[in-house]
Amino acid sequence: MQPKESGKLIYAFPPYHKLVFSGDKKVCVLIEGLVKIKKSDQEVTAGPGSFFYSTSDVRTLKESRVLAFDLEKLKREQPELASKIQSELEKNKKETGEAATKPHSELMYEKAVNCPVCGSRFQALNIFDYKLRFLKQDPDLRQHYENVEPMYYDIWTCPDCLYANLKKDFLSTADSEAKKHLLQSGAEKRRQENPDGLKEPGSIEYAIRSHQLALSCLEAVEAEPMKIGNIWLRLAWLYSDRGEKEEANRAREQALQFFMDAYTGKSSLHLKPGQMEQLCYIIGILSWYTGNNKNAMDFLLKYLHSPGKRPRLAEFAQDCLQEIKKAGKNQAGDD
């Protein structure tokens, strides 16, 4: 079975599939997903951003997308770029035997990451997504897992310049010289506000501080409101876990404001229908959480009439509407 091509040079592989191509082996960059690489008598798990050669010793652990190309052809067409990629491959071999990752515990692994802002190389702690055991989901989209809280590890933070972001966006946010410059210019302020740096991921204190840093970085580059709103929402969950109700409510209000901006502003033109529907839902739920029942009803009814509504979220929306109606009846009775 050949991989499905999802774009020029980009291929999609199903879970537990050998990463091989017809003809000569290719140089691969993992864009999304997780792969296991067998090297001699050991196996290494590699996450997004890893470089490796396509071979039958590489197998996907989940649905993955891979950028694959012929290195020899690239040497002829773009020798400078090919040289950099060759150096990265050799570096990864020396550090971990084919991939810049190494096991950390049963649920986690370390991945070597180059900061796109200052160029520092550091080890980022990650969770094996395929080992997560889902327990439940809250109405505000928070997901709970057994024995681990992924939010404690979802933010990568450069220990040098303190640039922080969700790991899925860590490399892409500084995608222009202008944004890179803005993040570089804010490094000294981030260091002054965090003179002791950040500890290793794994505590609620680290999670809150790293999310706050990510928020300041996203605001510095004027990121899309949906991304900023997402960080505020995650902060609301974390503040709630620590029993800080006022901070949690303030974070929900901020998240709601940015989600409204995403829904009504120019950035909505770039959102897919499914994203718009989810925005509609979370705006309704957060409006309910923050006491704006009219807004909650408007957006939740809109979500319930959308063609792509998800069954579980539709149940939450209906339960919420029932609670709002019940509260309205009780208030009318008191009057």
The tens digit of pLDDT for each residue in 164-215 reads 999 989 988 888 899 999 999 999 999 999 888 787 788 999 999 999 999 9
Residue 274 has pLDDT above 50, yes or no: yes
User: Residues 77-95: what's their mean pLDDT?
Assistant: 66
- The reply to whether CATH 2.40.160.20 applies to domain 1-98 is no
Tell me how far apart the alpha carbons of residues 251 and 239 are, in angstroms, rounded to a whole number: 8
159 and 122 in contact (C-beta within 8 Å)? yes
Indicate if the pLDDT at residue 27 is higher than 50.
yes
pLDDT at 301: 96
What pLDDT digit, counting tens, does each position of 236-272 carry? 999 999 999 999 999 999 999 999 999 998 877 778 8
> Does residue 34 or residue 154 have the better pLDDT?
154
Q: What is the CA radius of gyration of the chain?
A: 22
Contact 174, 163 (CB under 8 A): yes
pLDDT above 80 (res 25) = no
The one-letter amino acid code at 312 reads R
- pLDDT tens per residue across span 43-55: 677 777 777 888 8
Question: What are the domain boundaries of the chain?
Answer: 1-98, 104-223, 272-335
Residues 102 and 100: their CA atoms lie apart, in Å, by 7
Residue 303 in tokens = 């979500």
0.85 cut: is pTM over it?
no
CA separation, residue 78 to residues 72, 194, 233, 289, 306 (Å): 10, 41, 43, 54, 48
pLDDT of residue 1: 44
Distances (CA, A) of 262 to 246, 253, 258, 274: 24, 14, 6, 14
- How far CA 150 is from CA of 67, 200, 203, in Å, comes to 27, 14, 11
